[in-house]
A and B are shown apart, each in its own frame.
Chain A
């Protein structure tokens, strides 16, 4: 007994029968952000405090400093608050640039 061929084309979900994500989210939560964290690589000591505290797990460890995956970052500002080196500044989002 095989599954019936669906009469609709599922453009977004393909063969998945239920919502599963390969990452943490399937929704691009970065779209909700109105302020953006910007890290100064010269000030960052790579202590990883921002990485530990980020509630959505969107901090990226680079050779030079910790940066942010802006696809998921909601702009909550916790990383800027906890950074002991004051390397992260929150800037208001001004759109595509």
Chain B
């Protein structure tokens, strides 16, 4: 049994890096990731992590330093948010194309402009085609556990891809929760030392890393990247099983599922709103609405098969997005779900956009989303995308006021 502490998301991530025995750290502070850098620096200063901490002048340098570290065989960790991620973009791409198993906390935040420092998911969803695995956390316990798991996934010889452990800025990064910190020996037995050999700084066997590469070769490398990304799904599931056997905790694999066994309708969301959705689902089930949740835990690679299996049978789907996609005016999870089903028949689906720029996704909003989704499941017509705070959401008109059950639901959501 490890010890129990009260940790915010940033400290939970720092603990994850410590338990994974990282040997090289480099990060540049940016809201809301800043405390993460402070916790890491404290761990190093107090000798609790046996690692070099490089004080860099930018995020671009932070990730570049880690790349050099991986070439020399190090296990590395960093974190960033929003504009820091933007400044990191050039080495960010190279990290995945060079197949470097770097783990990075992505403390999700709204992107500028307008000028903002508050939470959102727009920074992370914007880079979802950069070749990194993206794992989205719902709780601080999951943040700690996922940072450790991420190394096992990233360093797998069939994967060799960098991993972003994404957690909502402020909602998770600055909120403290009860977190179990596993024992170091147990983590050591779960996570072997890194063994990276495909790129290596070795004076006896010199190689040039990432030289000019012509189209036909690049095509093969890109195909290998995509293949590795698909294979990562199996590894993520295996790591989940092993973790749950060793530590008795299960945060899900590609997806996390809640009360879906007998669900008529499903809420799909990602990140911190899932915690609120659980409460909303429990309350709405008390009122007779059979609703469940599928949480997108891994956005890249996308859980295509899992979504088809879980959602084909429901009568309607409501997605809740703390982000937008500019493809067609929907949120990202709505768009990704449509793509996952491709041409296959799928239940009617509607989208709810909220929680932008640090706004809350409230319990009441999620309950409204559930009622509207149920209304659509019953054959009702509703707008494709509802923007919380912008669109008028009048659920009263959806109820038959003569009906006793409807009356109870109406009173229950306020």
CA distance in complex: A8, B234 (Å): 19
Q: Tell me whether B189 is interfacial, beta carbon within 8 Å.
A: no
Q: Tell me whether B216 is interfacial, beta carbon within 8 Å.
A: yes
User: Given A4-B158, A10-B224, A24-B211, A17 and B99 touching (CB < 8 A)?
Assistant: yes
- Within residues 16 to 33 of chain A, which ones have a CB less than 8 A from any CB in chain B? 16-27, 29
CB atoms of A2 and B157 under 8 A apart: yes
Q: Tell me whether A1 is interfacial, beta carbon within 8 Å.
A: yes
Least CB separation from B161: chain A residue: A17
Shortest Cβ distance from A77 into chain B, in angstroms? 21
Q: Looking at the complex, which of B18-26, B202-210, B314-322, B360-368 is the stretch in contact with chain A?
A: B202-210
Of A1, A2, A4, the residue contacting B227 (CB under 8 A) is A4
Q: Tell me whether A62 is interfacial, beta carbon within 8 Å.
A: no
Shortest Cβ distance from B229 into chain A, in angstroms? 12
Contacts of A64 in B (CB 8 A): none
Least CB separation from B156: chain A residue: A1
Q: Tell me whether A95 is interfacial, beta carbon within 8 Å.
A: no
Of A17, A27, A29, the residue contacting B213 (CB under 8 A) is A27
Contacts of B228 in A (CB 8 A): 17
User: Given A1-B238, A16-B198, A17-B99, A8 and B211 touching (CB < 8 A)?
Assistant: no
CB atoms of B217 and A25 under 8 A apart: no
Q: Tell me whether B287 is interfacial, beta carbon within 8 Å.
A: no
Contacts of B218 in A (CB 8 A): 19
Could you mark each residue 149-167 of chain B with 1 if its beta carbon is under 8 Å from any beta carbon of chain A, else 0?
0000000111010000000
User: Given A12-B220, A20-B198, A20-B199, A1 and B208 touching (CB < 8 A)?
Assistant: no
| B interface bracket (residues with beta carbon within 8 Å of A) | 20 to 34
Shortest Cβ distance from B214 into chain A, in angstroms? 5
CA distance in complex: A20, B231 (Å): 23
Q: Tell me whether A63 is interfacial, beta carbon within 8 Å.
A: no
Shortest Cβ distance from A57 into chain B, in angstroms? 11
Contacts of A11 in B (CB 8 A): 220
Of B206, B207, B210, B224, the residue contacting A13 (CB under 8 A) is B224
Contacts of A18 in B (CB 8 A): 97-99, 198-199, 209-210, 221
Q: Tell me whether B345 is interfacial, beta carbon within 8 Å.
A: no
CB atoms of B208 and A13 under 8 A apart: no
Q: Tell me whether B212 is interfacial, beta carbon within 8 Å.
A: yes
Inter-chain CB contacts under 8 Å: number:
85
Least CB separation from A23: chain B residue: B208
CA distance in complex: A23, B218 (Å): 17
Interface size on A, residues (CB 8 A): 24
Shortest Cβ distance from B233 into chain A, in angstroms? 11
Of A7, A8, A12, A17, the residue contacting B217 (CB under 8 A) is A12
Q: Tell me whether B223 is interfacial, beta carbon within 8 Å.
A: yes
CA distance in complex: A58, B221 (Å): 27
User: Given A1-B156, A1-B158, A23-B208, A6 and B214 touching (CB < 8 A)?
Assistant: no
CB atoms of A27 and B211 under 8 A apart: yes
Of B98, B99, B208, B216, the residue contacting A24 (CB under 8 A) is B208
Contacts of A4 in B (CB 8 A): 158, 227, 231, 234
CA distance in complex: A75, B231 (Å): 45
Q: Tell me whether A3 is interfacial, beta carbon within 8 Å.
A: yes
Contacts of A29 in B (CB 8 A): 212
CB atoms of B158 and A3 under 8 A apart: yes
Contacts of B210 in A (CB 8 A): 18-20
CA distance in complex: A4, B206 (Å): 28
CB atoms of A2 and B158 under 8 A apart: yes
Contacts of A8 in B (CB 8 A): 220, 223, 227
Shortest Cβ distance from A8 into chain B, in angstroms? 6
CB atoms of A19 and B213 under 8 A apart: yes
Q: Tell me whether B260 is interfacial, beta carbon within 8 Å.
A: no
Contacts of A16 in B (CB 8 A): 198, 221
CA distance in complex: A16, B208 (Å): 13
Least CB separation from B213: chain A residue: A19
Q: List 23 A-B contacts (CB under 8 A).
A: A1-B158, A3-B156, A3-B231, A4-B227, A10-B224, A12-B217, A12-B220, A13-B220, A17-B160, A17-B221, A17-B228, A18-B97, A18-B198, A19-B98, A19-B213, A20-B211, A21-B207, A22-B206, A23-B208, A24-B208, A25-B211, A25-B212, A26-B212
* 8 nearest A-B pairs in the assembled complex, by CB-CB distance: A3-B158, A21-B211, A21-B208, A13-B220, A19-B213, A27-B212, A18-B99, A20-B207
Q: Which residues of chain B have a CB within 8 Å of any CB of chain A?
A: 97-99, 156-158, 160, 198-199, 206-214, 216-218, 220-221, 223-224, 227-228, 231, 234-235, 238
